[in-house]
Structure 1
Amino acid sequence: MNIFQLFFLIYSTHGLSVKVNRCYNCSETRDQTGTTLAGSNCFEPQPESLVSCSGLCLDEMSFDWAINGRQIIKLERFCAGSTWQESFCESGEASGGKYKDCKKYCDGDACNNDLSVGMIGKSLPLESRSCLVCANDDDGKMESKSCQDAENIEAEKCPLYLSEGCFTAFSALSIDAFELVENNGAHTEEFHRGCSAFVLESDFESISREWYNGQFAKARREFCDETSCNDKFIDIYL
């Protein structure tokens, strides 16, 4: 490097500095009951998950209403580079389920520290509601159906990112479509209730689906938008 190149480099970078933020870096997956299925300490981020970043911070929250009836919420926080984008959500349906994926960028030290990514697109002020919450799968044993009957299930206050309403869901899986549909010959059943990230256009949906491996599933989802309205017995024969 000659003297002229050195002088130009010093002059062009004079007074410039690279902004460094700290961003939370974590991942956690929960179901509608608040049970952690994977990861940890992301819905309530901890100082030890802060990392240095040369750009923006980003939160991503994805919602899935699987065909088995369970609603899954995955939250990820990380560094996002320097390209700013407006907050947005994308939603759709796949494999008999529903999904919604939301992203929110922020610029500032440890700014991705809340759950506001889950409120994108919601009308303010958000309504506070409660729903009956439970999850029950029998793992093929057909024994416990404590979530099917709401008699002993307590209502819980809904987090704002699950504030669309209340839901109930039932699913059954069999290797024989005829046995499942005609004779209720399921070898696994699941029952779920909770606060919902999704709205159904009608009060309920019924789904039947056959997979390439010969398994056959039927499912039913119900939705309501009043406090603790998901308190009805789940009738598997509807």
Structure 2
Amino acid sequence: MTNERLRSAMAAGGWTYSTLAAKVEVDPKSVERWVNRGRLPRRATAVLAADILGEDVHILWPALRQARAARAVSPELVALYDQRADVPVTTFVDLLAQARERIDVLVYAAVFLQEAYPRFNTLLRERATEGCTIRIALGDADSPNVQQRGREERFGHGIESRCRLALLHYQPLAGVPGIEIRTHGSTLYNSLYRADDQVLVNAHAWGVNAYGAPVWHLRRDPGGRMFDTYAESFDAVWATASPVQED
């Protein structure tokens, strides 16, 4: 569905996809999708664009009147799994294997990837060789937050041991061009497995092991905010994490 109101407003003011995109600081392809596919920009971006065009934002995008209301299904939600144990390891592997620009992994240990897919480090090396920027954030076994999680999940020192095991798995990648490994001590509300504009989010619930908690698969959408929320969360944790040095 096209947005003819927006097309007319741009034509009246002599705006092109590129010139309007430059003003509102988005990609010209995003503006093209607003016009030709009826995509909904973020509210702040839409307000700025409407102001530049001299139009009422709700005239250009009537759907924004209801955009603050809860939606039954987010356009960013690809799939929802009852628990991580229901997600085939191949789903994680295939997602990361498709990455062309960025892979971000935020976990405490997640040794299931290395154990179920022995070529996991090779996959990451291959992605880095092809130009991917790869960031792996693992739990610091000495962190009080990691140790507290073990008590909450009645896992004792097992989670600390798994953090150390995860570090042993990933240590050979330290120093590989394009790959950086760090350890963090943050409270882990969600484990994140990002590949470009997609992410698998393993939500955590108090007292529940990660494999028993839900997973949702998100894909970034111009009209959504969920993907960016998790991407920004990763960046915030990464900024506090400590680099792992080569052996």
Q: TM-score normalised to the size of structure 2?
A: 0.24
More strand per residue: 1
More helix per residue: 2
Q: TM-score normalised to the size of structure 1?
A: 0.25
Greater Cα radius of gyration, structure 1 or 2: 1
